[in-house]
Structure 1
């Protein structure tokens, strides 16, 4: 297969050092997560820590789609990362992407960003509802999401693990990750409300989020809360049905160790 390598003009990476890291990807680095779908590792290249995401090889149809008709997940992550930074939205610095292609099909791809040392994610607020500064963190996160919406960013994977949070001397900084599914457009009211659906089924979280968002868009809290509840419950119901289907028909799948 031929290899496409795109490195950001401001990156310290070289093609040789990057390709050496990719060649050793299976044997080196610190694994993040279980690698069930995509494999994410932290590797040190020339003294700098990088986050490298190896995307799962697509199915046969998508091998053709990504080869000829659509940008790969790796390329989209790279381009969207740059676009976010241009709009004033934080994300770990996009450094490069790599694609493997044959004449007719698409193979593996990698997205490389600088490794960000962060303090926690929104999942902490789900797992530890008594954590310090809970209300303030959630309200600042809601303000961050409002900023996304006002900038025409529809982050389709707005879920608990996809916003990294760093505590600062003045508050909290929020960084988006897992960037390949986004739309850039003017969001409708319902699209804004539905964008919170993946974050938490916890009513007490949605109560705070809806209260803060209602203030930001100057709408009654009860109205905003009702719509957020509606979309959260709709998502939870659909997710449970999907998981039940997988359990019934894909029981033979095994997670990677």
Structure 2
């Protein structure tokens, strides 16, 4: 198979070691996180731990699309990470991506980044409403999201597990992960508020985020809350409808 890759300039001298990690991905490394869709493993790399994401081989239509027409998820993850860093947005240091193809089809791909130890993710805020300093963290997160929007970043996978949070003294730093779906450009009001729809089912959290976003943007609180809550309800209905359909199809099989 043909290999295509790009290694960050900070790690050009380490290409042989990176190549070894990719070559031995299946047999080495420490399994990390959810393995349902893609495979994630941790590897020791010099004096750091790196996170290697192996994307599953796409269906036949996407094998053609990624070969000839679209950038792969691994490449997009790498390029978007670099873009975020240029814009001053937190994300684990991108290191490299690798792609493997045949003459007509796209096969395996890998994205390598520094592994970041975090204190929590946004998910903990949704599962423990009594988490220490909960409201302050939520307001800081909302300001972080507002800054994304101001910089023209539309993170399409803005969901509970995709923001890592580190405590720095009395403040919090936020880092985006799972980066392969993003748009860049000016965001209108509805797009901005809809970007919160996948984050929580709790009305109390929607109220806090709406209040903080209103303070940041100067928009009316009620206008923000009504839209954010309705979009949240719409997303939840769509999500559960999809789950019910999958369950029915599974039973029929």
| Segment drifting more, 103-112 vs 13-22 | 13-22
Deviation at 1:221, TM superposition (A): 1.2
Partner of 1:174: 174
Deviation at 1:230, TM superposition (A): 0.8
Partner of 2:119: 119
SS of the residue corresponding to residue 178 of structure 1 reads: coil
CA RMSD, aligned part only?
1.4
Partner of 1:94: 94
| Segment drifting more, 45-54 vs 164-173 | 45-54
Give the TM-score, by structure 2 length.
0.96
After superposition, the C-alpha distances for 1:186-229 in whole angstroms (9 at most, x for unaligned) are 11111011000000011011010000001111122111100000
Deviation at 1:20, TM superposition (A): 1.2
Partner of 1:159: 159
**Are the structure 2 counterparts of residues 77 and 251 from structure 1 closer, same or farther at C-alpha, using a change threshold of 3 Å?**
farther
**Are the structure 2 counterparts of residues 13 and 180 from structure 1 closer, same or farther at C-alpha, using a change threshold of 3 Å?**
farther
Name the CA distance, whole Å, in 2 between partners of 1:71 and 1:192. Answer: 25
> Structure 1, unaligned stretches of length 5 or more?
none
Deviation at 1:11, TM superposition (A): 2.1
Partner of 1:31: 31
Deviation at 1:34, TM superposition (A): 3.1
SS of the residue corresponding to residue 104 of structure 1 reads: coil
Deviation at 1:33, TM superposition (A): 2.2
Name the CA distance, whole Å, in 1 between partners of 2:229 and 2:181. Answer: 23
Partner of 1:183: 183
TM superposition outliers: structure 1 runs of 4+ over 6 Å: none
Deviation at 1:131, TM superposition (A): 1.1
Deviation at 1:133, TM superposition (A): 0.5
Indicate conservation of the 8 Å contact 1:123/1:161, yes or no. yes
Partner of 1:150: 150
**Are the structure 2 counterparts of residues 227 and 119 from structure 1 closer, same or farther at C-alpha, using a change threshold of 3 Å?**
same
Name the CA distance, whole Å, in 1 between partners of 2:252 and 2:43. Answer: 32
Name the CA distance, whole Å, in 2 between partners of 1:216 and 1:13. Answer: 44
Partner of 1:2: 2
Partner of 1:214: 214
> Structure 2, unaligned stretches of length 5 or more?
none
Matching of residues 170-249 of structure 1 within 5 Å: 170-249=170-249
| Segment drifting more, 12-21 vs 93-102 | 12-21
Name the CA distance, whole Å, in 2 between partners of 1:207 and 1:191. Answer: 18
**Are the structure 2 counterparts of residues 13 and 97 from structure 1 closer, same or farther at C-alpha, using a change threshold of 3 Å?**
farther
Deviation at 1:32, TM superposition (A): 1.8
Partner of 1:104: 104
SS of the residue corresponding to residue 11 of structure 1 reads: helix
The count of aligned residue pairs is 253
Indicate conservation of the 8 Å contact 1:5/1:15, yes or no. no
